Chains A and B, each alone.
Chain A
Amino acid sequence: MSWQWFHRLGSPRWFYQTSTRWLPLLALIAAAVLVSGLVWGLAFAPADAKQGNSFRIIYIHVPASFLALAGYYIMAIAGAVGLIWKMKLSYMVMKSAAPIGAALTFIALFTGAIWGKPTWGAYWVWDARITSMLILLFLYLGVMALQYAYHSIDAASKAGAILALVGTVNIPIIYKSVDWWYTLHQPATIKFTSAPSMHIDMFLPLLVMIVGFYLFYAVALILHTRSEILRRERKTAWVRELVQPNVGEKA
């Protein structure tokens, strides 16, 4: 009985119909949390003593980086579920997670570059975290490229899942080795002291933004998965009826 929800997920149709009901509410909550977090962080949080207002970009940068990494694991887990339980829906989730994760990784890199210019005096430095994020972007692009390369949806899904899993094994190794590499070559001009503990007035809006980004990620993932469901199930009766409700009746 307790596994019923899991078995239901095997049906893309059930997911589509259920998410139709819940999506507006989820989107509303996500928008509310994001807007309140942004207004709080950008307008009301105190300015940083050293960085002034430029620090406020962390309200985008940090949540985006969080989800960029979490998104890879979500994608890999979805792929593993697909390989193990042969579930169509989870492959669709996996495929949808890749471009969203890549976009978030890009946002994290981009906002980092914008913040780096006034703070470090350069848009790009080969810092350990930045380099790891760049490699993460490459990993995402690889999964996306592999999926687009196959004509057969089945092969694309399974190959993508295997690559995502191999990447999951590699990510901790890559992160650790890039970390090690950086301590070896740390340039003397740029010093990264450990971040001073954040004041609670700055930290609370960040927390709100992180929650908001998670909600936003969920909304984006569901939306993307829904369109993927429609695309892959376009030949089934229920999708046809959904798109052209009258055609079926006339025929």
Chain B
Amino acid sequence: MAQSINSGFTPWLKRDLLLAYRRRGEVASPLVFFVMVSTLIPLGLTPESAQLAEIAAGMIWVMALLATLLSVDGLFASDYQDGSLEQLLISPQLLPMPLLGKITAHWLTTGLPLTLVSPLLGLMLSLPAAGYLPMLCSLALGTACLSLTGAVGAALTVSLRKGGLLLSLLVMPMYMPVIIFGSATISYAIDGLNWLPPLAILGALFAASVALCPLAAAGALRITSAN
């Protein structure tokens, strides 16, 4: 049976986007979380804009990471519950491409909105003006890495009843390089340095994740959903 390697990417991307559109409330919650937590920071630390500006870059990245963690749990959950994941597993398609489609849909519905909302948060946390463009670039690339890595964790924990918290434990250590280079991109720009090198490393991390994570997630799904 001749199968194009590509088969499965677009249908699953469209399907997941449609599902997300029909469950708009669910999709919005990581975004609301992202904005709400940013209110906690001035309350917990200080409302002084000089001090907020110093930590804004790092805090925005920490919050984006946590918001992604909250949402990545649901990547395979509903498919597992309604049985469509099983159908995907027994279909003749190569598994990684449909998974990449699902992950892309996840990024389009969480990572991309987070990126687009981030200037608002930058404003609230008085991020210096030089930081906005690097923040957008690094968040767009970085949240894609987070979605991809998170998919492996979600695949490993999909059949567990309380997988959500465990998922955070599993993928948080893997997220550390992303947050290091993501927040460095912003702080480099604020300090007036060339911020392209850390962004390029983020791009390298993204390239590696695109290549490897769908494979690992496919392997994990075959094991975990058999139970």
Residues of the B chain whose Cβ atoms lie less than 8 Å from the Cβ of A163: 156, 170
Name the distance in Å between A70's Cβ and chain B's nearest Cβ.
18
Name the distance in Å between B37's Cβ and chain A's nearest Cβ.
22
Name the distance in Å between A30's Cβ and chain B's nearest Cβ.
31
**For the complex, what is the distance from the CA of A141 to the CA of B171, rounded to whole Å?**
11
Within 8 A of A (CB), among B122-164: 152, 156-157, 159-160, 162-163
Residues of the A chain whose Cβ atoms lie less than 8 Å from the Cβ of B201: 177
**For the complex, what is the distance from the CA of A163 to the CA of B216, rounded to whole Å?**
9
* Residue contact A155 to B220, C-beta cutoff 8 Å: no
Whether A170 is near chain B, meaning CB under 8 Å from some CB there, is yes
* Residue contact B176 to A174, C-beta cutoff 8 Å: yes
**For the complex, what is the distance from the CA of A174 to the CA of B176, rounded to whole Å?**
7
* Chain B contact residues, majority secondary structure: helix
Contact with B along A115-157 (1 / 0, CB 8 A): 0000000000000000000010011011001100110101100
* Residue contact B170 to A142, C-beta cutoff 8 Å: yes
Whether B184 is near chain A, meaning CB under 8 Å from some CB there, is yes
**8 Å CB contact of B220 from A150, A159, A170:** A159
Interface residue total, chain B, C-beta cutoff 8 A: 28
Residues of the B chain whose Cβ atoms lie less than 8 Å from the Cβ of A167: 173-174
**For the complex, what is the distance from the CA of A166 to the CA of B163, rounded to whole Å?**
18
Residues of the A chain whose Cβ atoms lie less than 8 Å from the Cβ of B180: 177-178, 180-181
- Closest A residue, CB atoms, query B184: A184
* Residue contact B156 to A162, C-beta cutoff 8 Å: yes
- Closest A residue, CB atoms, query B226: A155
Residues of the B chain whose Cβ atoms lie less than 8 Å from the Cβ of A155: 159, 223-224, 226-227
Interface residue total, chain A, C-beta cutoff 8 A: 29
* Residue contact B174 to A170, C-beta cutoff 8 Å: yes
Whether B169 is near chain A, meaning CB under 8 Å from some CB there, is yes
Name the distance in Å between A23's Cβ and chain B's nearest Cβ.
33
* Residue contact A142 to B223, C-beta cutoff 8 Å: no
**8 Å CB contact of B169 from A142, A152, A169, A176:** A142
Residues of the A chain whose Cβ atoms lie less than 8 Å from the Cβ of B220: 159, 162
Residues of the B chain whose Cβ atoms lie less than 8 Å from the Cβ of A154: 227
Whether B42 is near chain A, meaning CB under 8 Å from some CB there, is no
* Residue contact A177 to B170, C-beta cutoff 8 Å: no
Whether B207 is near chain A, meaning CB under 8 Å from some CB there, is no
* Residue contact A170 to B227, C-beta cutoff 8 Å: no
Whether A13 is near chain B, meaning CB under 8 Å from some CB there, is no
Name the distance in Å between B68's Cβ and chain A's nearest Cβ.
17
Name the distance in Å between A148's Cβ and chain B's nearest Cβ.
9
* Residue contact A159 to B176, C-beta cutoff 8 Å: no
**8 Å CB contact of A145 from B169, B184, B219, B224:** B169
Residues of the A chain whose Cβ atoms lie less than 8 Å from the Cβ of B11: none
Residues of the B chain whose Cβ atoms lie less than 8 Å from the Cβ of A174: 173-174, 176-177
- Closest A residue, CB atoms, query B205: A173
**For the complex, what is the distance from the CA of A154 to the CA of B201, rounded to whole Å?**
37
- Closest A residue, CB atoms, query B174: A170
Name the distance in Å between B124's Cβ and chain A's nearest Cβ.
25
A sample of 14 more A-B contacts (CB under 8 A), given A159-B220, A163-B156, is A138-B169, A139-B173, A145-B170, A146-B166, A149-B160, A155-B227, A162-B223, A163-B170, A170-B174, A174-B177, A177-B177, A177-B181, A178-B176, A181-B184
* Sample of 26 A–B contacts (CB below 8 Å): A138-B173, A139-B173, A141-B169, A142-B173, A145-B166, A149-B162, A152-B227, A155-B159, A155-B224, A155-B227, A158-B223, A159-B223, A162-B219, A166-B216, A167-B173, A167-B174, A173-B177, A173-B205, A174-B173, A174-B174, A174-B176, A174-B177, A177-B176, A177-B177, A177-B181, A184-B184
Question: Which residues of B are at the interface with A, using a C-beta cutoff of 8 A?
Answer: 152, 156-157, 159-160, 162-163, 166, 169-170, 172-174, 176-177, 180-181, 184, 201, 205, 212, 216, 219-220, 223-224, 226-227
What are the 8 tightest A-B residue pairs by CB atom distance, in nearest-first order?
A177-B177, A158-B223, A138-B173, A142-B170, A181-B180, A155-B227, A177-B180, A139-B173
